[in-house]
Structure 1
Amino acid sequence: MKPTWTGVFPALTTHLHEDQTLDLDATAKHIEVMIESGVQGLVMLGSLGENAALEADEKRRVMEMTVDVARGRVPVLSGVSETSTAAACRYARDMERLGADGLMVLPAMVYKSDPSETMIHFRAVADASDLPIICYNNPIAYGVDITPAMFAQLADEEKFVAIKESSGNTCRISDIINLVGDRYMLFTGVDDLALESIMLGAKGWIAGIGLAFPKENQYLWDLAMAGEWEKARELYRWYMPLLHLDVSLKFVQNIKLCIQECGLGAEWVRAPRQPLAGAEREAVLKVIRHGLANRPSIPTLALA
């Protein structure tokens, strides 16, 4: 049966120790915080989860732990970010075996495929398992663009149930809807375009900075879903400097530092990434601490 994925699906970080080994206990604790905040799904091992920097067995250990911790309370998805189609297919089969509820599939990494190659890759991964798929489009980061016309061609594959639209062009949401109607569930994947995307028809948000501010993030979503636009805009304006931290070459370091400042984890990242330092770190800390100092009060009923 086709899943009805909507709402906030945070793209969780993979918590690490200072020596860069996996910290599964910290990751598990963070998962609990996110579920308690009201999220409606979890996306593990996406770009923010440092998928490409992890070893194959590490990724499978993260997913095995996540499925166990979630206990069916929310759907658990894994990013599929491999350098070849064959490896992506193997990974998809392993995720089905481990009990994942779905996949978020990226184009093959490193090689910049043309439109035909891109669609062949996505169809091959879909054929590899019975899991439903969010197609992740982020041409800015990965150099491969899945256009609305390509999504129209891919619409005959029933396992493609949703799109994470991260092109940075909100027109894409309207263009996809105009081409294929409600064929796909549309997720925004750019934090500082979230409210605009919701207004245009996005039904989900694969969120980043919400990992540090889960209550505020969920409240913003709830306000938008209720059509409380004035309240949503007010909250969004407070949130915007923090949301901008998601749109940067060092978004993983930014968000992990934010998570640390909010007491929900540590800033350690996997090389070649390094924790922020010097003036760059101080600039990010200034944004985070200003946000914390001016943190809005969230109504108790909103958290019920």
Structure 2
Amino acid sequence: MTINWGGVIPAITTSFNQDYSIDFAFFAEHCRWLVDAGCLGLVPCGSLGEGATLSAEEKIAIIETALNAVGERVPVIPGIASLSTAEAVWLAQAAESAGCHGLMVLPPYVYSTDWREMKAHVEAVMRATNLPILLYNNPPAYKTDFLPEQIAELAQENANLVAVKESSSDVRRVTAIRALIGERLEILVGVDDEIVEGMQAGAVGWIAGLVNAFPRESVTLFHLAEQVRTGQDDRAQLDALYAWFLPLLRMDTVPKFVQLIKLAQEMVGMGNARVRAPRLELHRAELENARRTIQHALEHRSGLDIA
């Protein structure tokens, strides 16, 4: 299956039962719901999927669940991250054997260092598989910053590196990468509250977070931004939807983004707020403030023109 990067691809959350085991039945339902809303793929086991709290065996079980739920409809592109390079390589090969269509490759958890070591890590994963690779650059979270010239070097030396998820929160990175390597890589926005600006700068897709609770709104926002970028529409409808959505999209950019997005899912009736430790659910003022923001959005979305 060829991956179409030009759309909304959720970084899907992981659903937990009351005992914090994985709720595979709901996870499969969630996968189908997102695809039914127009999403073009799924990225399980990433940061938003709480990949750091999942065992290797659980990750493979989640991947297999996603493949069984939607694998004939859209590509499944799991996040590949680990404390060690050896385990990351094993996960990549296991995901390929399971039938995945691509991989999102992250730097290692915890250990962040210089370019030589980070290059060796991601290249070991890339060269362990024939699948197309999406490189995930998220310096705020992983303390490793793949600079545009380093991304260009990786692309020149690794033919299966085909895309980059840019989450540095600096929209100028999109134009910098494009200036170095032209159309060689697809560039996707990985920070929710930068999607419109990122697309105007030349990004083609969105690895999205709030889509887990608001898929139709996310898909509509993406298509409106695409139409404005290509001159097919004016900004009025895009600006109205973006203004409504921004208080929610900003929840994707803070340390407790997993808790916030899962709370939003709970409030729209599509999931629950449970997270695995060391994360804890929101409480007191932070919970009330988040609820107030989400509730305000829910009360004012009826007037939006959503496809």
Counterpart amino acid of 1:112?
A: S
8 A contact 1:2–1:161 mirrored in 2: no
Superposed CA RMSD: 1.3
8 A contact 1:9–1:205 mirrored in 2: yes
Q: Secondary structure at the match of 2:162?
A: strand
With over 3 angstroms needed to count, the CA separation of the structure-2 counterparts of 1:180 and 1:2, relative to structure 1, is: farther
Are 2:283 and 1:242 aligned? Answer: no
How high is the TM-score relative to the length of structure 1?
0.96
- Partners of 1:4 and 1:273 lie apart in 2 by 33
- Partners of 2:3 and 2:23 lie apart in 1 by 31
- Partners of 1:192 and 1:186 lie apart in 2 by 16
Residue 276 of structure 1 is aligned with which of 265, 282, 288? Answer: 282
Counterpart amino acid of 1:264?
A: M
With over 3 angstroms needed to count, the CA separation of the structure-2 counterparts of 1:271 and 1:200, relative to structure 1, is: same
Counterpart mapping for 1:12-91 below 5 A:
12-91=12-91
8 A contact 2:4–2:40 mirrored in 1: no
Runs of 5+ consecutive residues of structure 1 not aligned to the other structure: none
- Partners of 1:281 and 1:55 lie apart in 2 by 29
Aligned residue in 2 for 1:135: 135
Q: Secondary structure at the match of 1:136?
A: strand
Aligned residue in 1 for 2:114: 114
8 A contact 2:126–2:133 mirrored in 1: yes
Are 2:263 and 1:257 aligned? Answer: yes
Q: Secondary structure at the match of 1:291?
A: helix
Aligned residue in 1 for 2:173: 172
How high is the TM-score relative to the length of structure 2?
0.95
Instruction: Indicate the percent of aligned positions where both proteins have the same amino acid.
Output: 42
CA shift for structure 1 position 4: 4.0
Are 2:221 and 1:220 aligned? Answer: yes
Measured against aligned partners, the alpha-carbon deviations of 1:187-232 in whole angstroms (never above 9, x if no partner) come to: 0000011110011111000000111111111111111122233211
- Partners of 1:49 and 1:292 lie apart in 2 by 24
Q: Secondary structure at the match of 2:78?
A: strand
CA shift for structure 1 position 95: 0.2
- Partners of 1:121 and 1:23 lie apart in 2 by 32
- Partners of 1:238 and 1:297 lie apart in 2 by 10
Aligned residue in 1 for 2:124: 124
CA shift for structure 1 position 5: 2.0
Instruction: Report how many residues are paired.
Output: 301
CA shift for structure 1 position 298: 5.1
- Partners of 1:245 and 1:32 lie apart in 2 by 24
8 A contact 1:219–1:298 mirrored in 2: no
Aligned residue in 2 for 1:150: 150
Runs of 5+ consecutive residues of structure 2 not aligned to the other structure: none
